Amino acid sequence: MSDNAWVEVRLSCPDSQQARRFARRLKRGGARHLLQKGLELWSVWPDDQASRQALAWLGELDPPASLRAFRAVDALAAWSAPQARPMGPGLALAGADSGLRAGPGLLIIDALTAFGAGDHPSTALNLELLCRLLSGQFGPPPPAGVWAADIGAGTGVLALAMALVGGLSVLAVDPEPAARRACLRNIALNPLAGGRVHFVQARGDAVGGRFAVVAANLPTGLLLAIGDQIAALVADGGFVALSGFRDEAVESIAQIFTSAGLKPIATPSRHGWSGLLLSRQ
């Protein structure tokens, strides 16, 4: 190992008990620096064989830990510098208090009092599905400029992701005043993507038309109530990315959309939360 080579290890834990248990294990294993924020753990290790042996247990985790190699004379100073959070191909997120500036591949999100800053598993799952779709992992992506919709936009993070990664024009819809404030704030923070996002304060079931991509990060009950209306928004050859529900609700939600003629493509899961990507052939 070079004296300047380090590895950052990041873990997302399903509950506080496991977070405490993993924190103790990382500390005993030899982590040079350790930080816990809620259910997230960050630690820094020398990039050497001893660290790799101490961290071998990470390979058993689902979802897997995130590892980032970096070089620095002062590991703590470099590690403490603001870092963007990778969310999927072509996209990373950072908070408005990070000091970072939005640009290609990077969104700056200020949650204010709305939901969807990217730190909840349901939001992360939807972002992952959208990034994979728009990067071509599921076949040719929708062309830049076509219209997409974000139903229940919250902070607008899904809408902004579709605009930034795919170059889509996006209708962002949410009935809540808090969502309006947060979404307009984030449109302003992200000029590269924000110019393609158009916010409307309205209920999701008030939206009409057909869209190449529809994203909805909504609670199970709401998806069950208006799922057929969301499905009707998906154009021929289009896609819908769904999240906001626990693993046990996947079958009932998928049934609504498959009954409307859509075909499941991917169903990722994280910490008991699921996402669902479907297409209309």
pLDDT score, position 2: 57
What is the C-alpha to C-alpha distance for residues 142 and 138, in angstroms, rounded to an integer? Answer: 11
For helices 220-231 and 250-259, the axis angle rounded to 10 degrees is: 20
CA atoms of 67 and 52, how far apart (whole Å): 11
**Average pLDDT estimate for 3-15:** 85
For residue 14, what pLDDT band results from cuts at 50, 70 and 90? confident
Alpha-carbon dihedral sign for residues 107, 180, 114, 98 = positive
Would you state the pLDDT for residue 26? 94
User: What's the confidence (pLDDT) of residue 82?
Assistant: 67
pLDDT recorded at residue 245:
96
Q: pLDDT digit string (tens) for 182-241?
A: 999 999 999 999 999 999 999 988 899 999 999 999 999 999 999 999 999 999 999 999
Digit-coded pLDDT (tens) for 248-280 = 999 999 999 999 999 999 999 987 899 999 999
pLDDT of res. 84:
82
pLDDT for residue 272:
86
**Higher pLDDT, residue 128 or 42:** 128
Segments of the chain assigned to CATH 3.30.70.100:
5-80
For the domain bounded by 86-279, which CATH number is listed? 3.40.50.150
Model pLDDT, residue 74: 82
pLDDT tens sequence across 161-179: 999 999 999 999 999 999 9
CA-based max dimension of the chain: 59
Residue span(s) of the chain under CATH 3.40.50.150 come to: 86-279
Strands 40-46 and 85-88 come out as unpaired
Span 41-95, pLDDT tens digits: 889 999 999 999 999 998 788 767 878 788 888 888 776 766 788 899 999 998 8
> What average pLDDT does this structure show over 33-47?
88
Q: What local confidence, expressed as pLDDT, does residue 71 receive? A: 82
Q: Is the dihedral of CA 163, 168, 169, 175 positive or negative?
A: negative
CATH of domain 5-80: 3.30.70.100
Quick one: pLDDT at residue 170?
A: 98
Q: By three-state DSSP, how is residue 144 classified?
A: coil
Residue 281 pLDDT grade (very low, low, confident, very high; cuts 50, 70, 90) = confident
Q: What angle do CA 1, 65, 19 make, to 5 degrees?
A: 115
